[in-house]
Amino acid sequence: MFTVIILLGAWGASTQYNKEYFHYMGRQAMMNNDYQQAIKTLNVLLRFDEDDYEGYFLRGIAKYNLDDLLGADSDFSSALEKNPVYTIAYTYRAITRSRLGNYDDALKDFHEAIDLRPDLPDPYYSRGVTRLLNQQFKEAIEDFDMFIRHEKKVADAYVNRGMCYQHLKDTVRAYEDYERAIRTNREDPNGYNHRSVLYMQQNRHKEAEADLDIAIKHDSTYLLSFFNRALVYSNTNRPMLALSDFDHVIKLDSTNSLTYFNRAIVRTQIGDYNRAMEDYNRVAEYSPENVLVYYNRAGLHSQIGNIDKAIEDYSQAIKLYPDFANAFLNRSYMRMIKGDMKGAQADRQIAERKIADHKSRLSDSTYSIYSDTTQKFDKLLSFDTNLKGSSFENNIEQTTAQNNDINLISLFKFTITIADSTMLARQELYHSQRLEDFIEKVGDDRLHLSRDGSNIQPDSLVALDREVAEELHRKEDWILLFKRGITQSLIKQYTNAVGTLTFAITANPSNPFLYINRSTTRAEMIDFISSIDNSYQRITIDSDPAKRLNNRSSRTYNYDDAIEDINKAIKLYPDFAYSYYNRAGLYAISGKYPEAFEDYTKAIELHPNFGEAYYNRGLIQIYMKDTHKGCLDLSKAGELGIEDAYEALKFYLEK
């Protein structure tokens, strides 16, 4: 994509020496990459002459290069207010808005620029990129056609047009364009990388390998070329070469847990168990919450006869997610080998019960993976997989929507925890007498409505769950059932927790707070399914989001039961801000962004200091391409004490 660096053309004559001097000094500072000094110089100019449209334009360029995209947009707009036919300002405001994700307004600006100067090629190219990112592939092809008529020696134009054809399933024309890109610039690895995608999709591994070889020859620091060539080697049964490329990736990025994970799988396949174990140990160090690591490492322990270690790792996988039937089945077999027939039988019974329970409860096809106890987890993961920090347990902060950059703050639920000063301070921002009466009725000082997990140690939570279970044996009422539902959820026995909360609701059907916790528990259980289903994604060669679109298969999971519970809570207590906040979160992870926006807005109306709602609404607006308003919401969230808001602002303004 063509982006702005510095323009040194004729800026128009001026009768004021000082004005020309400041223009010159501002450009000179930008030529030296001193954009902050350029802004200071141009600020002086604009204080003396508020109508200097070129000054606003230059300052917009400086801000753009500092990734202050909103500031750049504002300055380009000021330049156009002063001079409505300033073509180049339309072009660069469009580029800025495209980077902000505001594609609709960007396309309007490109249209203005092209109407004013239809003979200039650059706006066609930039509009083509914007349309490509906006998935308007046919229109993007038209723009790249116009650009290529004027500029036939820009390889990236052919690559981008080829990507459009590829997304339209016209692989013949895509191949032709990648060929043209390579002929135009044989030193650029980009064309080879994209052509190799076609070859890999067609199982033409030899040709894909040849292209990746050339890409690596021209850019030996491009990590993704080595990673994907390792996948080609693995797919063609050449594990030693695959290991060599994985070694090189790790040399370039020594903390890349995904590469360690894949290398461990390949090493296991060739019988290099000791070094495979070293790799799994490294992954466990970098990604301690990922259940696949322990599950696979347990299998490796069993292969080398280290039964105790295998049992230990299967137990850790079960601890991370107690509904993982495979882990129970395999641990059962390990215990049988150890002669622990009672333990083996107990594990098998648990596994069979979980499988039967899931089959009876979850008839939707998206849940079939729960009952697939023969599922294997020894496939190589693609580079798009986010292994680090992921797990099979609920991760409500990461949506299953198309945009993986949205990281929503979690849902609020009742939990057992020791409140710190920060939690207490935030609770004081919102008063609900009905909520206070409910907590007093339950009669546990550790009960809080919180978006955070419990800070009580896992062993203590297990003991607490046993304690509540014993009380229930002596006396069954809705309060004890509610508390048991919380403790089961905290130790990640989500299926049992849903059942227990259902009994509590049956005993007290008019209590809105019981529905809230059953809703969040159901959402957590579904997220486990989605995290398994999204563990394997299609391979894409170019990881630069400015140069390619993700081609992942997107699935939306059914949160209807969780949403229905929140609907009941809202019907029973229509003025409770947290119910609207939770329903907004469920809408968001279901891909219903307008509905999520409306509910976050309602939560803010009821709770004007609801920082989490501002934060999440900001992200939703960014995803819906209204970056400016989204960033304003993130700014407000920061004012209200959500520290992550400022990091999010930086992240989204840099994209």
Among 72-86, 242-256, 437-451, 516-530, the least confident range: 516-530
Amino acid identity of residue 110, one-letter, is F
The backbone torsions φ and ψ at residue 573, rounded to the nearest 5 degrees and listed phi first, read -145, 80
Q: Tell me the CA end-to-end span of the chain in Å, nearest whole number.
A: 14
What pLDDT is recorded for position 403? 37
What pLDDT is recorded for position 2? 41
What pLDDT is recorded for position 518? 94
277: Cα within 13 Å, side-chain hemisphere = 15
Q: Is the pLDDT of residue 247 over 80?
A: yes
- For the chain, the farthest-separated pair of C-alpha atoms sits apart, in whole angstroms, at 97
Among 58-72, 334-348, 351-365, 524-538, the least confident range: 524-538
Residue pair 219/542 in contact (Cβ under 8 Å)? The answer is no
The CA-CA-CA angle for residues 141, 108, 601, to 5°, reads 115
Q: Is the pLDDT of residue 564 over 90?
A: yes
What pLDDT is recorded for position 389? 36
Q: Is the pLDDT of residue 127 over 70?
A: yes
* Residue 13 pLDDT class (50, 70, 90 cuts): very low
What pLDDT is recorded for position 8? 35
Q: Is the pLDDT of residue 357 over 50?
A: yes
Q: Is the pLDDT of residue 642 over 90?
A: no
* Residue 381 pLDDT class (50, 70, 90 cuts): low
Walk me through the domains of the chain, giving residue ranges and CATH numbers: 17-217 (1.25.40.10), 255-371 (1.25.40.10), 413-654 (1.25.40.10)
- What tens digit of pLDDT does each residue of 458-505 get? 788 888 889 988 888 888 889 999 999 898 888 878 888 889 999 999
What pLDDT is recorded for position 394? 30
Q: Enter the tokens of residue 423.
A: 């939690």
Q: Is the pLDDT of residue 358 over 80?
A: no
Identify the three-state secondary structure at position 442.
helix
* Interval 437-454 mean pLDDT: 89
The backbone torsions φ and ψ at residue 215, rounded to the nearest 5 degrees and listed phi first, read -60, -40
> How many whole angstroms separate alpha carbon 93 and alpha carbon 95?
5
Q: Write out 470-499 in H/E/C secondary structure.
A: HHHHHCCCHHHHHHHHHHHHHCCCHHHHHH
- What tens digit of pLDDT does each residue of 542-560 get? 222 222 222 333 344 578 8
Mean pLDDT for all residues in the chain: 81
* Interval 357-375 mean pLDDT: 49
Amino acid identity of residue 93, one-letter, is R
Q: Is the pLDDT of residue 31 over 90?
A: no
Q: How far is Cα of residue 512 from the mean position of the Cα atoms in its chain?
A: 32
> How many whole angstroms separate alpha carbon 628 and alpha carbon 146?
31
Q: Enter the tokens of residue 444.
A: 């546990």
What pLDDT is recorded for position 643? 76
Q: Is the pLDDT of residue 359 over 70?
A: no
Q: Tell me what percent of the residues of the chain surpass a pLDDT of 90.
A: 36
* Residue 398 pLDDT class (50, 70, 90 cuts): very low
Q: Is the pLDDT of residue 541 over 60?
A: no
State which H helix or E strand residue 556 sits in.
Answer: none
- What tens digit of pLDDT does each residue of 137-164 get? 999 999 999 999 989 998 999 999 999 9
Residue showing tokens 């014993």: 470
What pLDDT is recorded for position 570? 96
Q: Enter the tokens of residue 640.
A: 């209200």
Residue pair 457/472 in contact (Cβ under 8 Å)? The answer is no
* Interval 99-113 mean pLDDT: 87
- What tens digit of pLDDT does each residue of 604-639 get? 999 998 999 999 999 999 888 888 888 888 878 877
Residue showing tokens 């847990």: 257
Q: Which residue has the higher pLDDT, 366 or 63?
A: 63
Q: Is the pLDDT of residue 532 over 50?
A: no
The backbone torsions φ and ψ at residue 480, rounded to the nearest 5 degrees and listed phi first, read -65, -40
Q: Enter the tokens of residue 426.
A: 């935030």
Q: Is the pLDDT of residue 641 over 80?
A: no
* 8-state DSSP, 398: B
What pLDDT is recorded for position 346? 93
Q: How far is Cα of residue 484 from the mean position of the Cα atoms in its chain?
A: 33
- The pTM is what? 0.48
What pLDDT is recorded for position 435? 92
The CA-CA-CA angle for residues 324, 262, 220, to 5°, reads 155
Residue pair 362/370 in contact (Cβ under 8 Å)? The answer is yes
* Residue 7 pLDDT class (50, 70, 90 cuts): very low
Closest CA to 472 of 462, 463, 461, 482: 482
Residue pair 402/652 in contact (Cβ under 8 Å)? The answer is no
> How many whole angstroms separate alpha carbon 369 and alpha carbon 365?
8
What pLDDT is recorded for position 18? 66
> How many whole angstroms separate alpha carbon 483 and alpha carbon 499?
13
